[in-house]
Structure formats: C-alpha cells, structure tokens
C-alpha cells in the first residue's frame, strides 16, 4: 500500500467517525462549539501519533517475540492511559500555554475509542512503523475534519426552528447521518480500500 493511499484512506474514504463509528462519544459531546472541536482535534492528533508509535513498538518488540499477543488489549489501554496522564502532567508543568489550549482535552482521550481503535487497526492491517504513523495521522485528520465540520453544522442547528423533542442530540444525529452520507461518496476513491 503506498503511503498516500493509506493517508487518504484513513482521512476520507474510511473516516474513523463517520464510516467506522469509532470515537462517537466525544464526537457528540464536544462538537457543540467550534472552539472545543479544534482543541479536541489537536489533542487527538498529538496523542494518536504517540499512541500509534508506542503501541506498534510494544506489540512488535515485546508482545510478539514473547508470544503474549493476547495481552495486547490490556497493554495498549494501560499504556495509553499512562501516556496520557504523563503527557498531561508534563504539559501542565512546563508548557502552560499549550496546556490551557490542549491539556484539558487529554483526559478525554483515554476513553476515546478512536485512539485505541487506531492501535488495533494498525495491528490488523499489519502495517510497519511508517505506515502506522501515516494511518494515525490520516485518522486524526479525518477525526478533525468530521468533528469541525459537524461543530459548524451544530452551531447553525442551535438557531434553526426545530420541534422541542428533536432539539439537541436527535437533530445532531440526523445531521451526522447526512454528513456520513456525503462521506459515503468517497468509497473507493483512487481505488483505496482500507
């Protein structure tokens, strides 16, 4: 698989939120405003790359040689949780500015299915380290595209006349359905089939 296809595949064709349904909790929770969506996307990009590297190295250097493949779920999530907590502390201590913009989203990342989802997909697709990184970046950009696009729609939805029982989540879901429909159009773009 050439690198561009991996990146585009994860970014558009198989968008992690709209096509694979991974990462929906924060997607609906945080996308109420554009500003929080940007912060969340930056945090996801940052942690997803870190998680992809760490999980790839752990899997191929520790788990496979020792035959402990069955521990991958426990190891990955433990490492991601530890990683996030550590990164949060470092940011809070040394990079105050970055922390105020990015840091508050970090705890949200540990329970984000997208991060763990990427680590598992990297294993399933048998990517090497470079491909894993590209896939992580592509997915994070896809996450960002979906959540920012959706935040703009949701802000507009706030003001449009909707019947009370459909305000909030229901209309958001229907909105997401339409955005997902649009993304469906990207299927097998450039022959990508991730």
Partner 1 sequence: MSAPSRWKYFADGIIKENPVLILMIGLCPTLATSVSARDALGMAAAVTFVLVGSNVVVSLIRKVVPGSVRIPIFIIIISTFVTIIDYVLQAYQPALYRVLGVFVPLIVVNCIILGRAEAFAYGHGVFDSLLDALGKSAGYALVMLVMGSIREIFAAGTWFGVAVTPAWFRSAPVLFMIFPPGAFFLIGILKGIVNRLTAGKV
Partner 2 sequence: MLQSKTWIVVSLVLTCVIAAVALSQVYAVTKPVIDGQAADALKASLSEVLPGAADFVELEPGVVWSAKDAAGDRVGIVFKVTPRGYGGPITVVVGVDTTGRIAGLGVGSDMKETPGLGQKAREAWFRDQFRGKSETEVALKRDNGTLDAISAATITSRAVTNGVREGMADYIHYLTSK
Partner 3 sequence: MDWNLVLISAAGLGGLGLIIGIVLAIASVKLAVKVDEREAAVRAVLPGANCGACGFPGCDGYAAAVASGSAPLNKCSVGGASVARSIGEIMGQEAGAVEPMVAVLICRGGKDVAPARFQYKGAADCRHAALLLGGPKACVYGCVGLGHCAKVCPFGAITMGRNNLPVIDEKKCTGCGNCVRGCPKGTLLLVPRSKLVVLACVSHDKGKAVKDVCRVGCTACTLCTKVCPAGALTMVNNLPVMDFEKCIDCGICVHKCPTRSFIDRARGRPKAVINPRCTGCQACVRACPFKAIEGEPDKQHKVLADKCIGCGECRKVCPAEAIDMVGALGHAHPGKAA
Interface with partner 1 (CB under 8 A), residue from 19, 40, 45, 141? 19
H-type alpha helices, 69-128 = 72-94, 96-102, 106-110, 113-124
Question: Per CB under 8 A, which of residues 68..87 are in contact with partner 1?
Answer: 70-74, 77-78, 81-82
Question: Per CB under 8 A, which of residues 96..125 are in contact with partner 3?
Answer: 104-108, 110-111
Neighbours of 28 (CB within 10 A): 17
**At its nearest, how many Å lie between partner 3 and the CB of residue 135?**
24
How far is the C-alpha of 155 from the C-alpha of 165, rounded, in Å? 18
Question: Per CB under 8 A, which of residues 90..149 are in contact with partner 1?
Answer: 110-113, 115-117, 120-121, 124
Indicate if the alpha-carbon torsion angle 21, 24, 27, 32 is positive or negative. Answer: positive
Residue 25 is a binding residue for partner 2 (CB under 8 A):
no
Instruction: Please tell me the count of residues contacting partner 1 according to CB under 8 A.
Output: 46
Nearer to partner 2, 70 or 94 (CB): 70
193 binds, among partner 3, partner 1, partner 2, none (CB under 5 to 8 A by kind): partner 2
CB 102 within 8 A of CB 39: yes
Q: Which H helix or E strand runs over 40?
A: helix 34-57
How far is the C-alpha of 194 from the C-alpha of 192, rounded, in Å? 6
The binding track of 169-188 with respect to partner 3, each residue x by CB under 8 A or -, is --------------------
43 burial level (CB within 10 Å; 0-12, 13-18, 19+): buried
Contacting residues for 110 by C-beta, under 8 A, at least 6 apart? 77, 80, 81, 84, 85
Instruction: Please tell me the count of residues contacting partner 3 according to CB under 8 A.
Output: 40
Residue 36 is a binding residue for partner 3 (CB under 8 A):
yes
Give residues in contact with partner 3 (CB under 8 A). Answer: 25-26, 28-30, 32-33, 36, 39-40, 62-63, 66-68, 70-71, 74-75, 78-79, 82, 85-86, 89-90, 92-93, 104-108, 110-111, 156, 158-161
């Amino acid at each position: 698989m050439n690198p561009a296809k991996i990146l585009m595949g994860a970014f558009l064709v198989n968008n992690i939120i709209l096509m694979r349904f991974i990462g929906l909790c924060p997607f609906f929770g945080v996308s109420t405003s554009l500003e929080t969506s940007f912060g969340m996307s930056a945090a996801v990009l940052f942690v997803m790359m870190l998680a992809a590297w760490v999980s790839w190295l752990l899997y191929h250097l520790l788990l496979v040689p020792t035959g402990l493949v069955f521990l991958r779920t426990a190891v990955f999530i433990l490492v991601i949780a530890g990683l996030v907590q550590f990164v949060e502390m470092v940011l809070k201590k040394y990079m105050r500015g970055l922390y105020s913009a990015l840091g508050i989203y970090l705890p949200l990342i540990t329970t984000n299915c997208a991060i763990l989802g990427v680590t598992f997909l990297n294993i399933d697709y048998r990517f090497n380290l470079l491909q894993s990184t590209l896939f992580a970046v592509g997915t994070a950009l896809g996450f960002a595209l979906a959540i920012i696009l959706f935040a703009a729609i949701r802000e507009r939805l706030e003001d449009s006349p909707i019947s009370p029982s459909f305000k909030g989540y229901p209309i958001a879901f229907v909105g997401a359905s339409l955005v997902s429909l649009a993304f469906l159009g990207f299927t097998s773009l450039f022959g990508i089939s991730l």
